[in-house]
Amino acid sequence: MKKRIFTMLSMLFLGILFAGAINAQGIKVSGKVTDAADGSSLVGVTIQEKGTTNGTITNVSGNFSLTVAPTATLIISYVGYTAQEVPVNGRTAINVAMAVGDLRLQEVVVIGYGTVKKSDATGSVVAVSSKDFNKGAITSPQDLLVGKSAGVVITTDGGAPGSGATIRVRGGSSLNASNEPLIIIDGVPIDNHNVSGSSNFLSFVNPNDIETFTVLKDASATAIYGSRASNGVILITTKKGKVGNPMKITYDGNTSISSAIEFLDEYSGDEIRQIALDHKDLFGVESFNKLGTENTNWQKEIFHTAVSQDHNLSVSGAYKILPYRVSVGYTDQNGIMKNTDMQRVTGSISLDPTFLNNDLKVNINVKGMSTNNNFGDRGALGSAINMDPTKPVMDGNSASDGYFQWINYGANLGTPNPVEQLMAADNKSIVKRVIGNIQFNYKIPFIPELHANLNLATDYTKGSGHNNRPITSPSVLTSPLWGRLSDYNGTNYNNLLDFYLNYSKELSQINSKIDVTAGYSWQHFKREGDSYIRGIEDATHPYQKTDSSSFITENYLVSFFGRLNYTLLDRYLLTVTVRDDGSSRFAKDNRWGIFPSAALAWKIKNESFLKNVDVVSDLKLRLGWGVTGQQDIGNDYPAQARYITSSPGSYYPIGGEFLPTLRPSAYDPDIKWEQTTTQNLGFDFGFLKDHITGSFDIYKRVTDDLLNTVTIPSGSNFSNVLLTNVGSLENRGVEFSLNLMPLSQKDMSLILGFNVTYNKNKITKLLISDDPDYIGILYGDAFTGQKQVTRVGYPAYSYFLNKQVYNANGYPIEGLYVDLSGLGGTVNGDNADKYIYHNPAPDYLLGFSARFNYKNLDISASARTSIGNYVYNQVAAAAAYDQMYAIGYWHNEPKYLSDTKFVKRQFTSDYFVENGSFFKLDNLSAGYLFDNLFNKLSARVSITVQNLMTITKYRGIDPEVNGGIDNNFYPRPRTFMLGISLTY
């Protein structure tokens, strides 16, 4: 199969190869190219003799000279300017003034293996450039894009320094396979697995280095990436130097202050003492002896106001024909939880030289990062909520370095002192990453329409760290109990080779243009790591536990791809792509998958009936269809029969000797690609000279052969579940984006952006056999119950709970639920009596942005609204009176308990599912530019507030909860930032 495709693609190319033109002898023409607006010289302008490969570029003074036929015509072109054709007519001196072109028509967007003029794009493609990014103290690239693009939902993992984010393009098309989009940085698809010790796989990119994000959403745009494209593709392009630009030095720096927005409402020490009195029949009088006299607010004890800083320096420009950009960045971010911080140094070099008369273009990109993370102990968040407020922070307890601690620890016992838990944690890592690539774009001399591209890339990440606790430090539910030494290391490797040919030709006889790309890609991902945990031994703490493990895992992807763009009459556009992907994850017979796509676009504006209608400045209809795949399933060997050895502590004696055991792993020899078929209908429009622009898309995505971990018949394989191809799901959605420019005067402008995303996810099949009574895949744990389900006919991860019965005053009656099955017996927690009640995904997401400029003053804001996302408030569900005093130890509980008055926890009550719809004013920023301060120095000073305001009915701290179960995540802080940007 793969041979056939390759042959097909080669034939296509050989078929269109034909002889190039022949150079003619002639006269030497010289001249200067200038900007028509201000007369300044333009450097790097391409001068080409029409119909030949003969050409040159202007030098630093804007001058050129070229030997051409006396009757030749020169084509003069420059990015951003309208190209001109100048007949030589025997002249030897020709000066040209170039005018800035129509920017929108010139706008080029990056697509897979190439670029396309935005006006010619046939797929659903959105580009967000640096001027539209979110402002503020932003340390990870994902944050720049939050709320900026319809169909792209980014949920940050919380407020921890350097934390990552979950990105979903048009909902998730997979269940157990990855739902992350493919991220490609300067042509390198990156490994989205975090290395040990890293919490954000994108943190190596300094947000200040990013020029644009291009999001490919529908299959006709993404299918050229075949098997990795089902969840969208995000192309990140970093800033580059430009030919002809003088050296520019830029410094960006900021200082920010972050603090927690609100704390969970909890009982004070006095209130706990009152509750003890009120409930003495429940807790017993002996419980009084265990109460302390303090009023400690443990949440306040673990948080503080954090000051962070960020410095970036970049130098860009061009040295002769070598455009360059070099940057370094330093970030020192402190978390609002004590003892959590991150220091990061980033560096990037980008060189874009050209050789051989512009025939060979080379791009070299190197990015490096070194990050020191201090993770602290997140467990302190939960401990701060549960720690008894009647106790002091310090009591001189010598066993625990002066901190108050309960005497004993165990599964149901004392909360560890949250301050000690946090401050004594030595949980640090160092992560280093280098990613580099070199791209060659060679214009084949005798076929000027043909370009050969080669891209070689390597991506290396190393993380190492430790998570230690001193022997004075207890911990709950971990072994060993006192003190721990834990080391880990991880390394990720990712190597890439892409080669493709691009042929582009105007066929003026038939008013057509063709653009054909065909290529080959090879990528290798390898990850390895190890960990070692042991207790600290001393006289009072004898041998506790040792645990060690290691892994090596790798996979290869080999692909052939091709694309044909055909344009007729500059009105009708056709794009056809095909990719043949081979993955080492699957067995030989299932290894190859073919992923085709087709798209049609109709530039209605160019039709005669609209051409002269001034009100409509742009109108384009897009239709797309495509099939994409998925193979990112975590396990690199799901089809191979393997045995895995056990680690120490899990041995068994055979022949009188403790030996590790060998366990056969569950495997599916027939596992294959998951396939998503997308249909997309879209419009791009512009009115009133593009003062109003936007686009509208409607789509349906159907995923079949879902890579799904399902319960399998007992006795059929080596586990109770198996990752296999079972089931189908669909996503339907609508996206709308609108950009308005109500003011566009020279000194004053206002730009408003607005986008809406609607997505509905539905499972359509789940089992190998079809059982209409199948309850679905349940999620939850033994301690807090099964609360979510993925079931046919409903959205994935819907809440699955008992229906609460309420008293006359509207309060829930403890343990009383509607007997939905009618079978009687135990209703509480019984799956037969549960029902599906909402789900975590929002129905609608709205993004708003505004940018106002008045002379040197600029103000910008961005905001988001999420409608219809429901949150299970597990913090509230965990509150019960019997938890307050258990086995001799007092605990605090959130004040939700005053409403429920539950004596025992009721985790499966639908009472705890709350509407999490919200409006968030994410950031507000104002800046002032002081230009020509000294010499050419200009300075922009700005102030920004992030996470300014949230409006929601949700009773927890923050309704924006990844996955829908609110269980004490690191709160997102409010941040005030003062920034300065100097340009020389």
627-666 binders of other proteins (CB under 8 A): 636-637, 640-656, 658-665
> Of 83, 362, 721, 939, which one interacts with other proteins (CB under 8 A)?
721
> Of 23, 826, 856, 898, which one interacts with other proteins (CB under 8 A)?
826
**How far is it, in rounded angstroms, from Cα 937 to Cα 958?**
43
Minimum Å gap between C-beta 25 and other proteins is 20
Query: Is 758 or 889 the residue whose CB approaches other proteins more closely?
Result: 889
**How far is it, in rounded angstroms, from Cα 317 to Cα 242?**
6
By CB under 8 A, is residue 553 in contact with other proteins?
Answer: yes
By CB under 8 A, is residue 343 in contact with other proteins?
Answer: no
Query: Is 872 or 970 the residue whose CB approaches other proteins more closely?
Result: 872
Minimum Å gap between C-beta 801 and other proteins is 12
Minimum Å gap between C-beta 446 and other proteins is 6
Query: Is 118 or 545 the residue whose CB approaches other proteins more closely?
Result: 545
By CB under 8 A, is residue 23 in contact with other proteins?
Answer: no
Query: Is 10 or 30 the residue whose CB approaches other proteins more closely?
Result: 10
Strand partners, 30: 65, 93
By CB under 8 A, is residue 442 in contact with other proteins?
Answer: no
> Of 84, 357, 711, 983, which one interacts with other proteins (CB under 8 A)?
711
**How far is it, in rounded angstroms, from Cα 310 to Cα 919?**
29
Stretch that binds other proteins, among 65-73, 177-185, 251-259, 442-450 (CB under 8 A): 442-450
Nearest Cα neighbor of 577 from 521, 620, 625 is 625
By CB under 8 A, is residue 715 in contact with other proteins?
Answer: yes
Q: Which residue has the tokens 């520019």?
A: 248
**How far is it, in rounded angstroms, from Cα 897 to Cα 903?**
9
> Of 713, 930, 933, 949, which one interacts with other proteins (CB under 8 A)?
713
Minimum Å gap between C-beta 899 and other proteins is 20
**How far is it, in rounded angstroms, from Cα 754 to Cα 865?**
11
Q: Which residue has the tokens 């607010």?
A: 297
Q: Which amino acid is at 857?
A: L
> Of 37, 832, 857, 937, which one interacts with other proteins (CB under 8 A)?
832
Site string for other proteins, 780-809 (x = CB under 8 A): xxxx-xx-----------------------
Site for other proteins in 565-584 (CB under 8 A): 582-584
Site for other proteins in 887-906 (CB under 8 A): 887-888, 904-905
CA distances from 518 to 219, 492, 565 (A): 18, 29, 12
> Of 243, 722, 846, 876, which one interacts with other proteins (CB under 8 A)?
722
**How far is it, in rounded angstroms, from Cα 813 to Cα 802?**
12
By CB under 8 A, is residue 53 in contact with other proteins?
Answer: no
Minimum Å gap between C-beta 868 and other proteins is 28
Minimum Å gap between C-beta 414 and other proteins is 9
Contact assessment for residue 469 and residue 484, using Cβ atoms and an 8 Å cutoff = yes
Spatial neighbors of 726 by CB under 8 A, at least 6 apart, are 705, 706, 708, 710, 765, 766, 767, 768
Taking the CA atoms of residue 106, residue 110, residue 111 and residue 117 in that order, the dihedral angle to the nearest 10 degrees is: 0
CA distances from 403 to 377, 471, 649, 890, 916 (A): 16, 13, 33, 17, 38
CA distances from 664 to 64, 494, 646, 714, 801 (A): 71, 29, 11, 15, 36
Site for other proteins in 736-775 (CB under 8 A): 767-769, 771, 773-775
By CB under 8 A, is residue 538 in contact with other proteins?
Answer: no
Site for other proteins in 933-952 (CB under 8 A): none
Stretch that binds other proteins, among 67-75, 418-426, 550-558, 974-982 (CB under 8 A): 550-558
> Of 174, 709, 737, 923, which one interacts with other proteins (CB under 8 A)?
709
Q: Which residue has the tokens 């990050």?
A: 371
Minimum Å gap between C-beta 926 and other proteins is 50
- Concatenating the DSSP letter of every residue in 468-519 gives EEEEEEE-SS-SSSEEEEEEEEEEEEEEEEEEEEEEEEEEGGGTEEEEEEEE
Nearest Cα neighbor of 216 from 170, 165, 174 is 170
Strand partners, 702: 677, 730
Minimum Å gap between C-beta 642 and other proteins is 5
Q: Which amino acid is at 195?
A: V
> Of 155, 357, 831, 983, which one interacts with other proteins (CB under 8 A)?
831
By CB under 8 A, is residue 544 in contact with other proteins?
Answer: yes
CB atoms within 10 A of CB 720: 11
Query: Is 431 or 880 the residue whose CB approaches other proteins more closely?
Result: 880
- Concatenating the DSSP letter of every residue in 569-610 gives TTTEEEEEEEEEEEETTS-GGG-EEEEEEEEEEEEGGGSHHH
Minimum Å gap between C-beta 19 and other proteins is 9
By CB under 8 A, is residue 458 in contact with other proteins?
Answer: no
By CB under 8 A, is residue 547 in contact with other proteins?
Answer: yes
CB atoms within 10 A of CB 659: 12
What's the token pair of residue 336? 């609002």
Site string for other proteins, 387-426 (x = CB under 8 A): ---------------------xxxxxx-------------
Largest CA distance in the chain: 110
Stretch that binds other proteins, among 542-550, 599-607, 624-632, 805-813 (CB under 8 A): 542-550
Query: Is 120 or 388 the residue whose CB approaches other proteins more closely?
Result: 388
By CB under 8 A, is residue 822 in contact with other proteins?
Answer: no
User: Please, what is the Cα angle at 451 between 446 and 457, to 5 degrees?
Assistant: 140
By CB under 8 A, is residue 691 in contact with other proteins?
Answer: no
- Concatenating the DSSP letter of every residue in 868-917 gives S-EEEEHHHHT--HHHHEETTEEB--BTTHHHH--SS--TTBGGGEEE--
Minimum Å gap between C-beta 234 and other proteins is 26
Number of residues that bind other proteins (CB under 8 A): 117
By CB under 8 A, is residue 52 in contact with other proteins?
Answer: no
Query: Is 438 or 454 the residue whose CB approaches other proteins more closely?
Result: 454
Query: Is 376 or 785 the residue whose CB approaches other proteins more closely?
Result: 785
By CB under 8 A, is residue 481 in contact with other proteins?
Answer: yes
Stretch that binds other proteins, among 132-140, 181-189, 597-605, 830-838 (CB under 8 A): 830-838
By CB under 8 A, is residue 856 in contact with other proteins?
Answer: no
Minimum Å gap between C-beta 732 and other proteins is 27
Nearest Cα neighbor of 137 from 862, 970, 979 is 979
Cβ-based burial of 316 (10 A; exposed 0-12, middle 13-18, buried ≥19): buried
Site for other proteins in 861-890 (CB under 8 A): 882, 886-888
User: Please, what is the Cα angle at 677 between 673 and 680, to 5 degrees?
Assistant: 150
By CB under 8 A, is residue 967 in contact with other proteins?
Answer: no
Minimum Å gap between C-beta 466 and other proteins is 16
